Structure 1
Amino acid sequence: MFWCIVVLATCFKVLLIKSYHSTDFEVHRHWLALTHSLPWSSWYTDTTSEWTLDYPPFFAWYEWCLSLIAGFFDPNMLVLHKYGYLSEGTILFQRLSVIVSDFVLVYAVYVLSCYLTNHPVRKCSQYKARWKSPTTIFQVLVLANMGLLLVDHIHFQYNGILLGILLLSVSHILNGRHNWAAFWFIFLIHMKHIFIYMAPVFFIYLLRNHCIIYNGDSYRWLWRKVAILAAIVLAVTAVSCGPYVLAGQTTQLLSRLFPFKRGLTHAYWAPNIWAIYNFTDKILLFIALSLGYRMKFFLGQFTGGLVQDTVHVILPTITPRITLILTVLAITPCLVKLWKSAGNPLHFVRALVLCTSSAFLFGWHVHEKAILMIIIPHSLLAVIWRKEAEVFAFLSTVGHYSLLPLLFTPKEIFLKYLLFVLQTWYTVNHLRDLFHAQLLHRREILYLSGFAILSFYEVFGVYLLPFLKNYEFLHLMMTSVYCALGITYVYLKYYIAFLFSSAANKRVTF
């Protein structure tokens, strides 16, 4: 079953080679040319194009490795200039590079599948139909995930390899190989630094379960293990960033990796607290203007959807420091609970999901695609506990719907809705059959029915109400805010359940 899923998913990805691609396609094409044409010392200082390199050094070297093969498809794609470049060879190579890199995710899923199948308290032999087993459902939820198909294989990015490294690190945690878990996680951070949101969870878990022994009265430090973990982290960081530090480019590297001037929200508002905050500010502004108040403000279109257009006029302005404080406050109770839940690695996965959700909801300039960092790890828990499946069914539906506006061209409308319907149907029905229980409450079903209205508006709204052409980003704003309400609801529900769950719940049954 595993290899059938892999083959079918790969074949479908091949069918998407000719589909729409976003500006991220040209971004990565430019990075291929950049790393191929210039020495490493110029990668983070070059400004030939507006698509400057803003990923950590390991990903830059990954692009360099890809450039060694890209020339066989079309040497012109490796020419560095400020203009974009597109050809059949470029499309074929970049699409295939994502498909091939996804096999890192395939390997990680295989390792976690072995854990689910072989762990003494997780035997799956009771399921006569293999396609109904928890292991197979987990494989489908990850390897055929519609979010990854939309973001990586249509919109274009390399999330598959990154999430594969994350799941590989998680698998080492579950199997007690803590040094390897630390290695792959710090390696991942130097591939894409957004995963640093998860670092507190790894730090607390490894500190409590690897570096310290609690004998009932006091804690005893295992300094040899502490030294090994520290050496792993420092060695990987030195290999990645050391050359740039020695070259005197530390400040330049940090300015590329952490561009705080980009604004509170991305051009497409991620469905988080700040989407609700921005929307509230706009509504209050509209009310103030309707009441005759005069005020100076910079506002392009009321529903412009651009970072530069999102100016807080009524509500206080949010700074990076505020988002950092809110994120730290949000993850602290979760980390305290994780510390008290020593000995249960699956509580680690729970905490990972919650801390990532906290960063998604309260972080600075969060991208909508970051929802996959929550959904993919949570897929593992969804096939183990019924309560986790209830949360996952709702979160998966809302999170995946929030990604649909990424594809706005007419020829992709049917495809994206078809993938969403299939993903939702498979998730809800197979998890329901797995646990023999309804997963969604009536209030949740009522909320999800609102997606039908949003979808109808996107497809037919302009034809029924032509004046809506003047508000091209209105649907985008409505989707972001509506999905933000759903994600905030399920976040609070899950967080409360985690904090009040028994720390002694160490046995897992299906």
Structure 2
Amino acid sequence: MSKEAPTLSLLANSPIRPSLQHLVQNHTLWTAPIIILLFALVVRWSIALNPYSGYNTPPMYGDYEAQRHWMEITLHLPFSKWYTYDLQWWGLDYPPLTAYHSWLCGLIGSKINPAWFALDESRGLESAESKLFMRSTVVLSELLIYIPAVFAFCQTLYGNAYFKKYTATVLILLQPALILIDHGHFQFNHLMLGFTLWAINCFFTSHFVAGAFFFCAALGFKQMALYYAPAVFAFLLGRCFTERAGCWLFIQLGLAVVFSLGLLFLPWLGSLQDLAQVVHRVFPVARGLYEDKVANVWCAINVVIKLRQILSLESTVRLSLLTTLLAILPTAVHLGLRPSRKRFLYALVNTSLSFYLFSFQVHEKSILLPLLPATLLVLEEPTATALFVNTAMFSMFPLLKREDLVLPYFITILLWNWLLTGFKWSQKNAIESFTTVAIYGLFLLWHLSEAFLEPPAVVTGLGLVTPLGVGVKTTWKNLLEGQCGIVSLGEGFESLPVRIAAKVPQGSLEHGQFTSSEWLDRGDDRVMAKFTQYAIAAARQALDDADWKPKDVQEKERTVQAWVV
């Protein structure tokens, strides 16, 4: 028993330990995997009962509609049109394995009810039955790929040390960020992460070629798996030098990669134009340096230095590429020279976090990639892992709040931290303890302020009155999802893009012009006073940050006001 006790004091108070001891005393330890699996499924289905991205927010809805739409187009259209069909309505922008998965889900769903995925006619469908099916596809996909990979990883790493094995399994499966994004927000990130974890399992058991197949599957499902590529490449290259038949292994790995990627892209290999369109959709350079307000270096620098105004798009691509390479190079070289299982996990954290901090076009959900290897190290680095998980969750709070996932946010964080520590922190390092408490205290203070204090208003975008600190793209997202009202005092903005104006829930769209008057009564003296206070400085800065450009000086000076509903 003593040899299985955790060596790290943070885990000493975990409630998982007495639960496992109870099973041992009753000779029912064999039920532990079943209990863990059922508990993990209950948590996922509980989160699935909450709203999702774009819930009841026409006309464009959100990521839920994007996933449903991909099932629709892959089911009804030939391969050549998958990446070209009506790109303004959630055009497919993930690699082919995502498309194949969408086709399979759409095929199964259409057998149940063809109306769920009728071409064009099913856009925005939110019937109770279709939502149940869509939620089921996420749960079943995770049950088939990600969850078995977690069990296999913990078995490979900890063997018969049942306390460590099952504790790690629980903490990995109940990591809150992935659950909230996939089962709340609605995505299939667990498939990319599951394929990656199967690759790790294969590497750890010296099945390197099989691991290469799985990693190519991860890349073929979501291009963000490239965050792991430097560590994977360095680890496998290092193994080619340390293995007895290293040269033959190198050839096998090369053939496995070429065969896997060739198989994934096979339907488009007959036309360079079609293949180029797939690559263009998968790597959308035109979107810009970063998306929304994400906790990476470029977004932080933008507060002081407006790189997107100073540098061209090509220059920002080169800058982000150079800084990312410089950040990952030491880790990759070290791992390649001294490949080992433990170094590989740490390298996965370092390289994926480097991509998150420095690479081009990062979304806040990209934090899920460094979170996977960090969570795999939960028994080795419990304090650091806990801090990482909680910080990642905090960074995604604005996204989750917009989608009415605040209650699941707090419940899943509390559940995971309780399972890790029992809310009894026993750290011997005073500096580490003080730092951890200080950071968590700041998180708590921010949440209390956000909940009970009314933030000052600030004008962003085209003069939109929003809470202080909300960025231009976040403002647009709130507007398009119906969380803001908008009114034009004067003539409409003639050069306001039709694609944007058509999404605005309030008002009307006529020939690309947005005109509305029904939100005038939303104003009051308090709001107008704040509008006047912040308008001049903030509106000019926000107009410079926005992608929209006025056609003339007069249009730039027109006033557009919005009030949070």
Q: TM-score, normalised by structure 1?
A: 0.77
Q: Taking every aligned residue pair, what percent have the same amino acid on both sides? A: 28
Structure 1 position 336 matched with structure 2 position 336: no
Alpha-carbon separation, structure 2, partners of 1:258 and 1:329: 21
Matched, 1:62 2:101: yes
Aligned residue-pair number: 426
Query: What is the aligned counterpart of 1:322 among 319, 322, 340?
Result: 319
State the partner residue of 2:468. 474
Equivalent residue, structure 1, for 2:277: 252
Distance in 2 between residues matched to 1:187 and 1:459, nearest whole Å: 42
Q: Quick one: which of 441, 445, 455 aligns to 2:433?
A: 441
Establish whether residue 417 from structure 1 lines up as the match of residue 410 from structure 2. Answer: yes
Report if the CA contact (8 A) 1:198-1:356 is conserved.
yes
Superimposed CA distance per residue, residues 248-301 of structure 1 (whole angstroms, 9 cap, x where no aligned partner): 31211111011011011112x22111221122347xxxxxxxxxxxxxxxxxxx
Aligned with 2:290: secondary structure? Answer: coil
Task: Give the C-alpha shift of residue 225 in structure 1.
Answer: 1.8
Cα distance in 2 between the residues matched to 1:439 and 1:55: 44
How big is each residue's C-alpha offset from its partner over 1:121-159, in whole Å with a ceiling of 9 and x where there is no partner? Answer: xx52xxxxx6xx222221122211211221011110001
Taking structure 1 as reference, are residues 449 and 436 closer, same or farther at Cα in structure 2, changes over 3 Å only? Answer: closer
Query: Would the alpha carbon gap of residues 314 and 446 (structure 1) be closer, same or farther in structure 2, given more than 3 Å must change?
Result: farther
Trace 1:258-407 onto structure 2 (pairs within 5 A): 258-267=283-292, 269-281=293-305, 312=308, 319-342=316-339, 344-383=340-379, 385=380, 388-407=381-400
Q: 1:76 to 1:272 in 2, by over 3 A?
A: same
2:213 corresponds to which residue?
183
> Taking structure 1 as reference, are residues 415 and 221 closer, same or farther at Cα in structure 2, changes over 3 Å only?
closer
Shift of the 471–449 alpha-carbon distance from structure 1 to 2, 3 Å rule, reads: farther
* Greater C-alpha Rg: 2
Aligned to 2:263: 239
Shift of 1:428: 4.7
The one-letter code of the counterpart of 2:466 is: E
* Range 220-229 or range 102-111, more displaced: 220-229
SS in 2 for 1:80: coil
Q: Distance in 1 between matches of 2:279 and 2:87?
A: 19
Shift of 1:423: 2.5
- 1:299 is matched with which residue? none
Asked if the contact 2:95–2:222 (Cα under 8 Å) also holds between the matched residues in 1, the reply is: yes
Q: Distance in 2 between matches of 1:441 and 1:459?
A: 27
Separation (CA, whole Å) in 2 of partners of 1:427 and 1:439: 21
Q: Which residue number corresponds to residue 44 of structure 2?
A: 13
Residue 29 (structure 2) pairs with residue 32 (structure 1): no
Letter in 1 for 2:129: G
* 1:71 and 2:110 matched: yes
Tell me by how many angstroms 1:471 deviates.
5.1
Q: Cα distance 1:315–1:417, how it changes in 2: closer, same or farther (>3 A)?
A: farther
Alpha-carbon separation, structure 2, partners of 1:92 and 1:253: 31
Question: 2:94 is paired with a residue of what secondary structure?
Answer: coil
Distance between the aligned counterparts of 2:359 and 2:439, measured in 1?
25
Distance 2:467 2:77 in 1: 39
- Report the counterpart of residue 137 of structure 1 in structure 2: 167
Q: Is the 8 A contact 2:52 2:403 kept in 1?
A: no
Aligned to 2:445: 453
The secondary structure found in structure 2 opposite 1:472 is strand
Q: Given the alignment, which residue of 188, 195, 201 partners 1:171?
A: 201
SS of alignment partner, residue 414 of structure 1:
helix
The 1:48–1:473 alpha-carbon spacing in structure 2 relative to 1, beyond 3 Å, is: same
Once the two structures are TM-superposed, the CA of residue 12 in structure 1 deviates from its matched residue by 2.5
Residues 411, 345 of structure 1: alpha-carbon distance in 2 compared, 3 angstrom cutoff: closer
Report the CA distance shift for 1:375/1:431 in structure 2 as closer, same or farther (over 3 A).
Answer: farther
Evaluate the alpha carbon distance shift between residue 70 and residue 222 of structure 1 in structure 2; reply closer, same or farther with a 3 A threshold. Answer: same
* Structure 1 range deviating more: 155-164 or 238-247: 238-247
Q: For 1:251 and 1:197, how far apart are their aligned partners in 2?
A: 22
Rounded to whole Å, the distance in 1 between the matches of 2:423 and 2:34 is: 19
Indicate conservation of the 8 Å contact 2:308/2:316, yes or no. no
Q: Unpaired runs of 5+ in structure 2?
A: 1-31, 54-61, 475-565
Q: Which amino acid aligns with 1:17?
A: A
Q: Which amino acid aligns with 2:277?
A: Q
- When normalised by structure 2's length, the TM-score is 0.70
Q: Deviations over 1:402-438 (max 9, x none)?
A: 12222225853233222223323433558967x9878
Instruction: Provide the secondary structure at the position in 2 that maps to 1:394.
Output: helix
Query: Over residues 319-364 of structure 1, what are the superposed CA-to-partner deviations in whole Å (9 max), with x where a residue is unaligned?
Result: 111101100010001111112323x221111111100010000011
Counterpart secondary structure, 1:182: helix
Structure 1 pair 201–449 and aligned structure 2 pair: CA distance change class (3 A): same
Displacement of 1:202: 1.2
1:207 matched to which residue of 2?
237
CA contact (8 A) 1:41 1:244 kept: yes
Whether the aligned pair in 1 keeps the contact of 2:191 and 2:221 (CA below 8 Å) is: no
- With over 3 angstroms needed to count, the CA separation of the structure-2 counterparts of 1:428 and 1:315, relative to structure 1, is farther
1:10, distance to aligned residue in structure 2 (A):
0.8
* Structure 1 residues 346-404: Cα deviation after superposition (integer angstroms, max 9, x where no partner): 11111111000100000111111111111122222221x3xx33321221111121122
Spell out, residue by residue over 1:218-274, the C-alpha distance to the aligned partner (whole angstroms, 9 max, x if none): xx983322221111101111111132121231211111011011011112x221112
Q: From the superposition, tell whether residues 251 and 117 of structure 1 become closer, same or farther in structure 2 (CA, over 3 Å).
A: same
SS, match of residue 419 in structure 1: helix
Contact 2:72 2:119 (8 Å CA) reproduced: yes
Structure 1 residue corresponding to 2:124, chosen from 77, 84, 89:
84
**C-alpha displacement of 1:467:** 4.3
Please tell me whether the aligned partners of residues 432 and 438 of structure 1 are also in contact (alpha carbons under 8 angstroms). no
Equivalent pair of 2:184/2:405 in contact (CA under 8 Å): no
2:133 is matched with 93
Equivalent residue letter for 1:243: P
Do 1:393 and 1:428's aligned partners in 2 also have CA atoms closer than 8 Å?
Answer: no
Q: What is the match of residue 308 of structure 1?
A: none
Whether the 8 Å CA contact 1:162–1:188 is kept in 2: the answer is: yes
Q: Which moved more, 1:158-167 or 1:435-444?
A: 435-444
What is the aligned partner in structure 2 of residue 109 from structure 1? 150
Letter in 2 for 1:452: L
